[in-house]
Amino acid sequence: MNDKNIKNEKMEAIVSLAKRRGFIYQGSDVYGGLSGTWDFGPLGVTLKRNIMNQWWKMFVEERDDMYGVDAAILMNKKVWQASGHVDTFSDPMVECSNCKSRFQADKINISKCPSCGKEGTLSEPRQFNMMFKTHVGPVDDESSLSYLRPETAQGIFTNYKNVLDSFYPDLPFGLAQQGKAFRNEISPRDFIFRTREFEQMEIEYFVHPEKWEESFEMWRKLVWDWCAAIGLPIESVHELEVSDEDRAHYSKRTIDFEFDFPIGREELLGLAYRGSFDLDNIQRVSGKSMDYNVKGTNEKFVPHVIEPSFGVERALMAVLSVAYTEDEVNGDKRVYLKLPEHLAPVKYAVSPLLKNKPELVAKAREVYDLLRKKHGAVMWDDNGNIGKRYRRQDEIGTPYCVVIDFDTLENDTVTIRDRDTTEQKLVAIDSL
Ligand code: ATP
């Protein structure tokens, strides 16, 4: 396995299944990999999209107070100067004088090098800015310098005024965005938990400055609802109230939502009250007013912001670790992904009992086409015997396997087998 830092058996089993079955591969694997990058295979991309679509449906489509945006990843460098990222988006880094490994100083015990084990070899911490630099245009000098965005949030703030001018929504209202973010993490680790390229789903919810607390509470509850909607057991999710010393200076309140991953309890997502910090910065640097004018009054102010910020890969890793299950069927060990039906990348697998009987294959194709029209995510599977097909479908979390046999030809009934109970039932094709 390429990621040296995966410590734990369950985590290893998940990483290995994810690779074997086409969910997640090491990035640039064929060339020996690129640290901190992962690629999504055919099933992984569907699972990831199902999680992202669930979020979009719940927080944009089903609400009247939310608007979606999709900003460019490359932004004017003034964005990152104004937001404070150029000056302060950094982690403390130490280097070992013996083995030259580098570490994030606040994540390790700095008396001894975690890689070579030598004592007293780690340097004094120095700040390392995590933004990836790039150049926009054919000349790579200071004037063309830009950055790959380290968060999606600034693409929302820079569009606040645009959306205000196009829609003039009543307060409170929010903007939501999903997309890639890039951070040159000092030590990427733990599979897709900490990577250098990942995806975020962020919301900036604009509120009256005196009414931030009620919106904060609303989002706090909605975060719990979302965790439930992607099938995370409530006892595995924990709120960590971030203390005054650890909170950003502009935030009056931040809650980190942590999850019991196989690697331990770690941050899944964050909920922060950011005051008017970001819009004030934009107003100061751009010289353009970020005021919200309350309809029918002379009241004007820069709105305050509640920011729920979700990481897609961390959500996916949480979903996979809840779903990963081992049990015994007829004395044999079985591995399956108990994915919630709405997230499973394949909803039905359709098989002819025997693949060398043309009449069974033709009937199975008919059922396959019918189900695919209705449900989309349906897989044709005629490899190996039925037992092997069930095992394979269990491992990718397919809730139902449908088998077409000789009875189907006579009675239009199929055998449907349930992933979780392994029970098989005879049902009419019409009722599928
Ligand atoms: P951490 O303390 O773990 O570095 P953070 O507090 O810097 O995270 P935020 O800046 O609040 O993270 O980003 C919001 C969300 O984006 C996080 O809760 C997480 O889900 C996700 N995220 C942040 N950094 C990474 C990363 N390197 N890899 C994967 N997801 C990430």
**Partners of residue 103 on adjacent β-strands:** 94
Which residues surround ligand 1 with Cβ inside 6 Å? 151, 183, 185, 194-195, 198, 200, 267, 269-270, 309, 311, 313-314
In whole angstroms, what is the distance from residue 280 CA to residue 249 CA? 14
Judge whether residue 301 has pLDDT over 80. Answer: yes
Q: Phi/psi at 272 (nearest 5 deg)? A: -130, 145
Per-residue confidence at 7, pLDDT binned at 50, 70, 90?
low
pLDDT at 362: 95
Note the pLDDT tens digit of each residue in 221-231.
999 999 999 99
In whole angstroms, what is the distance from residue 169 CA to residue 182 CA? 31
Q: Supply 118's token pair.
A: 């030598």
CATH topology (fold) of 9-75+152-321 = BirA Bifunctional Protein; domain 2 (3.30.930)
Task: Please tell me what DSSP assigns to residue 39.
Answer: E
Vertex 245 angle, CA 242 and 247, to 5°: 45
**Partners of residue 327 on adjacent β-strands:** 334
The domain spans of the chain are: 9-75+152-321, 346-431
Task: Compute the residue count for the chain.
Answer: 432
What torsion, rounded to 10 degrees, do the Cα atoms 241, 243, 246, 251 define? 80
Neighbours of 78 (CB within 10 A): 13
Mean pLDDT of all residues in 277-301? 96
Which residue owns the Cα nearest ligand 1 atom 18?
Answer: 269
For residue 358, the CA-to-ligand 1 centroid distance in Å is 53
Q: Supply 235's token pair.
A: 């006892």
Which residue owns the Cα nearest ligand 1 atom 28?
Answer: 194
Task: Please tell me what DSSP assigns to residue 109.
Answer: -
Q: Supply 181's token pair.
A: 């973010």
Which residue owns the Cα nearest ligand 1 atom 8?
Answer: 267
For residue 309, the CA-to-ligand 1 centroid distance in Å is 9
CATH superfamily for 346-431 is Anticodon-binding domain (3.40.50.800)
For residue 353, the CA-to-ligand 1 centroid distance in Å is 47
In whole angstroms, what is the distance from residue 157 CA to residue 59 CA? 18
Per-residue confidence at 178, pLDDT binned at 50, 70, 90?
very high
Classify burial at 340, counting beta carbons within 10 Å of its beta carbon; exposed 0-12, middle 13-18, buried 19 or more.
Answer: middle
Q: Indicate which atom in ligand 1 lies nearest the CA of residue 200.
A: 16
Its pTM stands at 0.95
Residues 168, 115 contacting (CB under 8 angstroms): no
Residue of 89, 104, 267 to test ligand 1 pocket, by largest number of atoms within 8 Å of CB: 267
**Cis bond leading into 172, ω under 30°?**
yes
pLDDT at 284: 97
Asked whether the domain spanning 346-431 has the same topology as the one spanning 9-75+152-321, the reply is no
For residue 36, the CA-to-ligand 1 centroid distance in Å is 13
Note the pLDDT tens digit of each residue in 78-134.
999 999 999 999 999 999 999 999 999 988 888 899 999 999 999 999 999 999 999
